[in-house]
Amino acid sequence: MLTVDFDRLGLRAGDRVLDMGCGAGRHAFEMYRRGGDVIAFDQDVAELEGVRDLFVAMKEAGEAPVGAEAHVKEGDALALPFGDGEFDRIVAAEVLEHIPADIQAIQELVRVLRPGGTLAVSVPRWFPEVVNWKLSEEYHNVPGGHIRIYTDKELVDKISKAGMNFTGKDYAHGLHAPYWWIKCAVGVRNDDHPLAKAYHKLLVWEIMKQPKTLQLAGRILDPLIGKSMVLYFTKPLTAA
């Protein structure tokens, strides 16, 4: 289930790409399939081990083009262990809402992106996230949980002030927002609630089978209640 549009990001085979805060690796795997030279970066060692194993399995199964490379790297988003301008494309999906020093993390992303390179950042969208917070304290008030809710204007402003040119935005996962509203209403950990179970089955059907009816529903709901906001930026060729 991808959040970022890689065509819009401009990803091409041979690009050196960073998935910052890769988690389980969903975006890193797709960038590898598209021929990127991928670094999956996270502070969670256990997650990275799983990502590394799947990179190996993908290579053995021939799921990535010949010559494409994929590696994992553990570290701190506030001090990325990479050189200035090292990457052509960067993805930071559903990460910044967890980081107290978000401006410092943004500055690091900009630093390691080459001039002319592109950046995609996704965070929970303001309205669906506000509903979740009001319905459930447990949803966000946990170690490592969401510590802020961004408005479009706020995040565009923060990233633009770090030296990037804003090129556009999108919304994703409109079918997923109601699921989290249900979960927050009945209990975030209450996976056995009949309504939560029924909606989860619907989402699994959407992901696995991609029925046309749900694809159409998603296209209608994404701009209205899409759970994720995705922002796209380009780094200027010369400093402002």
Q: What is the pLDDT of residues 50-106, one digit of tens each?
A: 999 999 999 999 999 999 999 999 999 999 999 999 999 999 999 999 999 999 999
Alpha-carbon distance of 118 to 236, in angstroms, equals: 10
Q: Which DSSP letter does residue 97 get?
A: G
Tokens of 235: 């780094």
Q: What is the mean pLDDT of the chain?
A: 96
Span 6-125+133-173+227-234 CATH architecture: 3-Layer(aba) Sandwich (3.40)
Exposure string for 51-79, b = 16+ CB within 10 A, e = fewer: beebbeebeeeeebeeebebebeeeebee
Local confidence band at 201 (pLDDT 50, 70, 90 cut-offs): very high
Q: What is the largest CA-CA distance in the chain?
A: 56
Residues 6+ apart with CB under 8 A from 186: 193, 195, 196
User: What is the pLDDT at residue 238?
Assistant: 81
Are 15 and 240 spatial neighbours (Cβ–Cβ below 8 Å)?
Answer: no
Are 38 and 58 spatial neighbours (Cβ–Cβ below 8 Å)?
Answer: no
User: What is the pLDDT at residue 239?
Assistant: 63
Task: Name the residue among 79, 38, 69, 71 with its Cα closest to residue 52.
Answer: 71
User: What is the pLDDT at residue 1?
Assistant: 84
User: What is the pLDDT at residue 240?
Assistant: 54
Determine the residue type at 87.
F
Are 139 and 133 spatial neighbours (Cβ–Cβ below 8 Å)?
Answer: yes
User: What is the pLDDT at residue 81?
Assistant: 98
Percent of the chain with pLDDT over 70: 99
Ranges of H-type helices in 20-150: 26-33, 45-60, 102-112, 126-135
Determine the residue type at 11.
L
Alpha-carbon distance of 124 to 142, in angstroms, equals: 16
Neighbouring C-beta atoms of residue 25, cutoff 10 Å: 24
Are 168 and 232 spatial neighbours (Cβ–Cβ below 8 Å)?
Answer: yes
Tokens of 101: 């020093």
Are 24 and 51 spatial neighbours (Cβ–Cβ below 8 Å)?
Answer: yes
Please tell me whether residue 73 adopts helix, strand or coil conformation.
strand
Alpha-carbon distance of 216 to 135, in angstroms, equals: 28
CA angle 177, 178, 181 (to 5 degrees): 95
User: What is the pLDDT at residue 178?
Assistant: 97
- For 120-166, what is each residue's pLDDT tens digit? 999 999 999 999 999 999 999 988 899 999 999 999 999 999 999 99
What does the pLDDT average to over 19-45?
A: 97
What does the pLDDT average to over 162-184?
A: 97
